[in-house]
Amino acid sequence: MSFPLSSRTSDSSLLDAHGWDSGWAAAFAPYAAQGLVPGRVVRVDRGQCDVATEEGVVRADTAFVTPHDPLRVVCTGDWAAVDPAGVRDPRYVRACLPRRTAFARSTSSKRSEGQILAANVDHAVITVSLAVELDLGRIERFLALAWESGAQPTVVLSKADLVPDPVGLSYLVEDVETVAPGVQVLPLSSTTGEGLDVLAATVAGGTTVLLGVSGAGKSTLANVLVGEDVMTVQAARDIDGKGRHTTTTRNLFVLPGGGVLIDTPGLRGVGLWDAETGVGQVFSEIEELAGNCRFHDCGHESEPGCAVAAAIEDGTLSVRRLESYRKLLRENQRIVAKTDARLRTEMLKDWKRRHAAGRKALEMKRGHSR
């Protein structure tokens, strides 16, 4: 018999390399008691996934763990309980351990549905290309989602080799720093290696996810950090990076210096998903200012004693930034309200369905007893 899986737990170096620790082991104990084996989901596609177990990567079916709630669908980075029994391939994922963190966004503004981009992530590296004009609003949006996920964000300004003027580069870094309080902003070039040592040190422990629009250079960076060409890289066809998406799945790799890296497909839109705390963190200086307004419910419009208006007046806060803050807060409220409304409608529908079924059963019963 050559089953690569067993419930043996002696050699867990492969699991350790994927981020297994005593906390996961404790959470997994009830599944181990059922004879299931632990593994980390390293890739998901077409109803199946690749799971790194202590004895190597196995293919597993996710049919048993596909709930209606899209936020609970198996995602790269999840820890799974895999059934070692039965046919060789694919195995079955029987359960997923509760996530420590999850990077969620809303898929589209029309259907307010959440989607998990990566699970159990410690660092979110927001990759922003210096080859195109900086979009500060988009960076703020990514940061809001990152803070909300529970991961520590870093902004990497990629393709720094394309900005040879050091003064120009330092201005770009400053611009991004003003929209990213509490966040490291790192100019980096996968071509020349600039900034790589700093990033390598940041990602050397825990799990890191690379996020950004298509063509930002995420997979190129993944290849450099992993030390081999694990991802396909292609030149972006058009300038705004909308034309081509080279990466189509989320892939998890073990880094040579320790730590784990997830490369993701470029995101066209990043809708907020219940990210009020995250928005607050991105705009922490505005929230701090608001604490000094005379009225605690100040709308920062034309109220007397408004500290936010004063900051705009003296130039320490930009109008763009205040508007961006308001816009993201509004968008978030809309998403939350929509989701609540949808949940209510679904609950009502479900109740009606059950009510109707119950009545039908009752009528049938009465009919029979007549």
Ligand X SMILES: Nc1nc2c(ncn2[C@@H]2O[C@H](COP(=O)(O)OP(=O)(O)OP(=O)(O)O)[C@@H](O)[C@H]2O)c(=O)[nH]1
Query: Which stretches of the chain bind Zn ion, using CB under 5 A?
Result: 293, 298, 300, 306, 308
Q: Site mask, ligand X, residues 177-216, x = CB under 6 A?
A: ------------xxx--------------------x-xxx
Residue 125 or 322: the one with the smaller Cβ distance to Mg ion is: 125
Residues 339-368 touching ligand X, rule: CB under 6 A, are: none
CA dist., res. 103 & res. 219, Å (int): 19
In angstroms, give the least distance from the CB of 357 to Zn ion: 54
What's at 191, amino acid-wise?
T
Question: Per CB under 6 A, does 76 bind ligand X?
Answer: no
**Angle at the Cα of 306 from the Cα atoms of 144 and 282, rounded to 5 degrees:** 10
- For Mg ion, the binding residues (CB under 5 A) are 218-219, 246-247
CA dist., res. 340 & res. 349, Å (int): 14
Backbone phi, psi, residue 68, to 5°: -70, -30
Neighbouring C-beta atoms of residue 310, cutoff 10 Å: 15
Q: Number of residues in contact with ligand X, rule: CB under 6 A? A: 24
Which residues lie below 8 Å from residue 144, measured CB to CB, with a gap of 6+? 272, 275, 278, 279, 281, 282, 328
- Between strands 152-158 and 251-254, the pairing is unpaired
Of residues 76, 120, 149, 158, which one binds ligand X by CB under 6 A? 158
Closest residue by beta carbon to ligand X: 266
Neighbouring C-beta atoms of residue 83, cutoff 10 Å: 20
User: Taking a C-beta distance cutoff of 8 angstroms, is the pair 138, 268 a contact?
Assistant: no
CA dist., res. 246 & res. 131, Å (int): 17
In angstroms, give the least distance from the CB of 37 to Zn ion: 56
In angstroms, give the least distance from the CB of 123 to Mg ion: 18
CA dist., res. 309 & res. 338, Å (int): 31
Of residues 32, 57, 233, 310, which one binds ligand X by CB under 6 A? 233
In angstroms, give the least distance from the CB of 113 to Mg ion: 24
Question: Which one of 91-99, 158-166, 304-312, 359-367 is the stretch in contact with ligand X (CB under 6 A)?
Answer: 158-166
Question: What does 236 bind: Mg ion, Zn ion, ligand X, none (CB cut-off 5 to 8 Å by kind)?
Answer: ligand X
Question: Per CB under 6 A, does 161 bind ligand X?
Answer: yes
User: Taking a C-beta distance cutoff of 8 angstroms, is the pair 223, 233 a contact?
Assistant: yes
Structure tokens at 42: 């390293």
In angstroms, give the least distance from the CB of 129 to ligand X: 7
Residues contributing to the site for ligand X (CB under 6 A): 158-159, 161-162, 189-191, 212, 214-220, 233-236, 245-247, 265-266
